[in-house]
A and B are shown apart, each in its own frame.
Chain A
Amino acid sequence: MMALSDDCRLAICVGVGGVGKTTFAAALGLREALRGKSVLVLTADPARRLADALGIRDLSDQASDIPLPATSGELHAAMLETKASADEIIRRAAHDEARAQRVLDNRIYQAFSNTLARSHAYAAMERVHAAVHDSRYDLVVVDTPPAQSSIEILDAPARLVSFLDQRVVRWFLQASDESPQLRGGAIAQGLLRIVAGQSLVSALTEFLTEMAFLREGFSERAKEVRDLMRSASTSFVLVSSADSLGMEAAKSVAAEVRSRDFTLAHLVFNRAFIPEATLSSAHPVNYPERLAALAPKLERMRALLTAEEERKRSNIVAFCDEHGVGAWSLPEARRPLGDPSALAAWIEQARPFSHST
């Protein structure tokens, strides 16, 4: 039976879009809740997939309870709202209402906090951190957004700190200062004015001036997030399809996980088989006379699907051996997995793969 280790507090599902990552995150959360844990599934995906998978009408930034059949566990789900989370980050880092308000009123902040991919990533990591430290949950399952490189989201806090590096900001803001080590800043600001325009540079200067005061708060949090990612109680789960294009994508995601010194704990290959095709006999069958007309079609179907399944199976075996990690394969979903019982039935069918080395 597919399960996370008992001391796992945070499971981060990574992978490219369209592989069933959200559905899997929901199913994994459910599975662990049915084992008695109190679980929060958090999606950073602006689309409604998590709500659809769990069969509830809407998800918001506030966690919703998902009704479960008799169990001591609990399942909660929430969708990240960038604007609300970003404002929350600023308030927390500012320690001071007036200062926070100046940032919140800044037009650069307003224009970007709700719109763009990078601000989404900062806000997501903040929310993950808060959820892991929330005593209501034993386990947090994170569904990363369906960007081509979903793992970039994990770099966001470090990037923000690097951006707000005191030396850099001072260098930039005090560019008018005449001291020699700051003169480079004046030149850079001049160049930036040419490439980005005067009005943007002024707005940016104003924004940085306010943000610079918040750096310490961000820096502390970024370090905590980084430690959290590398903690022994955090598991990265790579979700992928098992066809050849999917394997290529999985390879690059696995490499990105490794290059950050994160531990790839589980591989999950979705749509790897059709239970009927596996059961279907591998040898020629003597069909009764009344099915004679249908027989050639049945044989062709079986041949095609078992060949496809075999290709996927050998792809998975090769991948496990190469990465020294075991894997689970999941079947193509029977029908839309639109409620907890369908989700549970689906993940029950997971098949294990072990690696040879």
Chain B
Amino acid sequence: MHAPIAEPLTRQVQFFTGKGGVGKSTVLAALATAAARAGKQPLIVELGTHTSSSHLFHGPDVGYQPSEVAPGVHATRVEFEPALIDYITSRLKLRPIAGLVAKNTSLRRLFMAAPGVDEIVTLHRVAQLAADERWGPILVDLESTGHALMFFDLPSVLEVFLKDGPLRQVVDSATKLLADEQRCAIHIVTVPEPLAVNETIQLHAQLRKREDLHLGYLFINRVPRAWLDEEETLLVKNELAGASAGEPWAPDLALARYLAQRRLTAERCMQGLHHDVDLPTMTFEAQDEGGAAIIAELSAAIERAGIR
């Protein structure tokens, strides 16, 4: 007998991917906020040099050690050097020696230039955080789609020449984690705009080919507000073509028409996504600017959706 499959958002490790600029970090921050309110211990994991969470939560800079960025929400950034030292320590057991290895000029150059080192130490760090029972859910903010695919492909790339040894263990534990549908889910974040939708459909198809990966939700962010109903849209169109042309209020009508068109494009995009991406979907309405307010709105939407 198999245990029933866990609801994706209740799993311990969650990866988020999608085209850059679709608001992955905002969705992640909202999910973390909702999880914290539900009494869990969410940890946001950011990769790369630029962190969004400290800015989103109006908090201090996020570093390598998890720090609290909002009530109950922790965040960490996988910085290369400390992650490398952590990895080396896990092999050598002696932190001072690990530090020396990481700081050795020659080895350092080797590590800085060698392809794959980044990805390996990142995988190791994520697995290390996942092994710490304190954290759950762990929300990993992956970079853009191309890099996410590289990241998920790493274990199979390394497999080619790693028969045994310590890296083999990193790869094995990462592979095991990614393949465990009780513990891990990969979510896709997108916006209802044509370029983003094309990319999302391609990304989804590529991830689907990988039977060892377990997809969770499709989050559609920044859905433009429906300002006008059908009747009003028609009225605006007719007015602009006729009685209102050249009148002082015509620019307002043109703006209304533009917003109605934008909404229509978004609806078509969502239909396309619905047709080609067979994942449970959550949509978030576009919000007027303001980091903390966006997170509050989105996390309230998550709570209303009743996902725990």
* Interface of A toward B, CB cutoff 8 Å: 16-19, 23, 45-49, 52-53, 107-108, 110-112, 115-119, 145-149, 159-160, 162-165, 167-168, 171-172, 184-185, 188, 191-192, 194-200, 203-204, 241, 243-245, 248-249, 252, 274, 276-277, 279-281, 285-288, 290-291, 294, 297-299, 301-302, 304-305, 308, 311, 335-336, 338
> In whole angstroms, how far apart are the Cα atoms of A122 and B265 in the complex?
39
Q: Tell me whether B249 and A163 are in contact (CB under 8 A).
A: no
Q: Tell me whether A146 and B235 are in contact (CB under 8 A).
A: no
Q: Tell me whether A199 and B165 are in contact (CB under 8 A).
A: yes
> In whole angstroms, how far apart are the Cα atoms of A149 and B50 in the complex?
7
| A–B pairs, 6, beta carbons within 8 Å | A112-B115, A188-B101, A249-B50, A288-B249, A301-B259, A335-B265
Task: Tell me if B307 is interfacial: C-beta within 8 Å of chain A.
Answer: no
* Interface of B toward A, CB cutoff 8 Å: 19-22, 47-50, 52, 55-56, 87-88, 91-92, 97, 101, 104-107, 109-110, 112-116, 118-119, 143-147, 149-150, 153-154, 157-158, 160-168, 194-195, 198-199, 202, 227-228, 232, 235-236, 239, 243-244, 247-249, 251-259, 265, 288-289, 291
Q: Which of chain B's residues have a CB closer than 8 A to the CB of A171? A: 106
> In whole angstroms, how far apart are the Cα atoms of A112 and B143 in the complex?
19
Q: Which of chain B's residues have a CB closer than 8 A to the CB of A119? A: 115
Q: Which of chain B's residues have a CB closer than 8 A to the CB of A197? A: 162, 164-168
Taking the closest CB of chain A, its distance from the CB of B115, in whole angstroms, is 4
Q: Which of chain B's residues have a CB closer than 8 A to the CB of A110? A: 160
> In whole angstroms, how far apart are the Cα atoms of A296 and B185 in the complex?
45
Q: Tell me whether A280 and B161 are in contact (CB under 8 A).
A: no
> In whole angstroms, how far apart are the Cα atoms of A107 and B198 in the complex?
34
Q: Which of chain A's residues have a CB closer than 8 A to the CB of B116? A: 111-112, 116, 118
Instruction: Identify the closest chain A residue to B247 (Cβ).
Output: A288
Q: Which of chain A's residues have a CB closer than 8 A to the CB of B160? A: 107, 110-111
Q: Identify B112's interface contact among A162, A288, A305, A308, CB under 8 A.
A: A162
Q: Which of chain B's residues have a CB closer than 8 A to the CB of A167? A: 106
Q: Identify B252's interface contact among A49, A172, A281, CB under 8 A.
A: A281
**Number of inter-chain CB pairs below 8 Å:** 230
Q: Tell me whether A280 and B289 are in contact (CB under 8 A).
A: no
Q: Tell me whether B55 and A196 are in contact (CB under 8 A).
A: no
Q: Which of chain B's residues have a CB closer than 8 A to the CB of A338? A: 194
Q: Tell me whether A280 and B146 are in contact (CB under 8 A).
A: no
Q: Tell me whether B112 and A291 are in contact (CB under 8 A).
A: no
Instruction: Report if A111-B91 is in contact (Cβ < 8 Å); known contacts: A52-B195, A163-B109.
Output: no
Q: Tell me whether B162 and A195 are in contact (CB under 8 A).
A: no
> In whole angstroms, how far apart are the Cα atoms of A192 and B165 in the complex?
11
> In whole angstroms, how far apart are the Cα atoms of A282 and B112 in the complex?
55
Q: Tell me whether B92 and A194 are in contact (CB under 8 A).
A: yes
Q: Which of chain A's residues have a CB closer than 8 A to the CB of B195? A: 23, 49, 52-53, 336
Q: Which of chain B's residues have a CB closer than 8 A to the CB of A118? A: 113-116, 118
Instruction: Report if A148-B252 is in contact (Cβ < 8 Å); known contacts: A119-B115, A248-B55.
Output: no
Q: Tell me whether B165 and A196 are in contact (CB under 8 A).
A: yes
Instruction: Report if A45-B146 is in contact (Cβ < 8 Å); known contacts: A168-B109, A194-B166.
Output: yes
Beyond the given A116-B118, A188-B104, A294-B256, please list 13 additional residue pairs across the A-B interface where CB-CB is below 8 A: A17-B143, A19-B20, A47-B19, A47-B202, A108-B161, A111-B161, A117-B115, A146-B143, A149-B49, A162-B109, A197-B168, A276-B258, A298-B256
Q: Which of chain B's residues have a CB closer than 8 A to the CB of A53? A: 195
Instruction: Identify the closest chain B residue to A194 (Cβ).
Output: B91
Q: Identify A200's interface contact among B157, B165, B227, B251, CB under 8 A.
A: B165
Q: Tell me whether B101 and A49 are in contact (CB under 8 A).
A: no
Q: Which of chain B's residues have a CB closer than 8 A to the CB of A243? A: 289
Q: Which of chain B's residues have a CB closer than 8 A to the CB of A165? A: 109
Q: Which of chain B's residues have a CB closer than 8 A to the CB of A200? A: 161-162, 165, 167
Q: Tell me whether A107 and B256 are in contact (CB under 8 A).
A: no
> In whole angstroms, how far apart are the Cα atoms of A58 and B2 in the complex?
45
> In whole angstroms, how far apart are the Cα atoms of A244 and B291 in the complex?
9
Q: Tell me whether A301 and B227 are in contact (CB under 8 A).
A: yes
Candidate in A168, A203, A243, A290 with the most chain B CB atoms within 10 angstroms: A168
Q: Tell me whether A301 and B252 are in contact (CB under 8 A).
A: yes
Which 5 residue pairs across A and B have the least CB separation, nearest first?
A: A18-B21, A17-B20, A197-B165, A163-B113, A148-B48
Instruction: Report if A198-B49 is in contact (Cβ < 8 Å); known contacts: A119-B115, A301-B252.
Output: no
> In whole angstroms, how far apart are the Cα atoms of A346 and B199 in the complex?
22
> In whole angstroms, how far apart are the Cα atoms of A261 and B4 in the complex?
57
Q: Identify B87's interface contact among A146, A195, A198, A288, CB under 8 A.
A: A195
> In whole angstroms, how far apart are the Cα atoms of A190 and B239 in the complex?
80
Instruction: Identify the closest chain A residue to B294 (Cβ).
Output: A245
Taking the closest CB of chain A, its distance from the CB of B9, in whole angstroms, is 24
Instruction: Identify the closest chain B residue to A20 (Cβ).
Output: B21
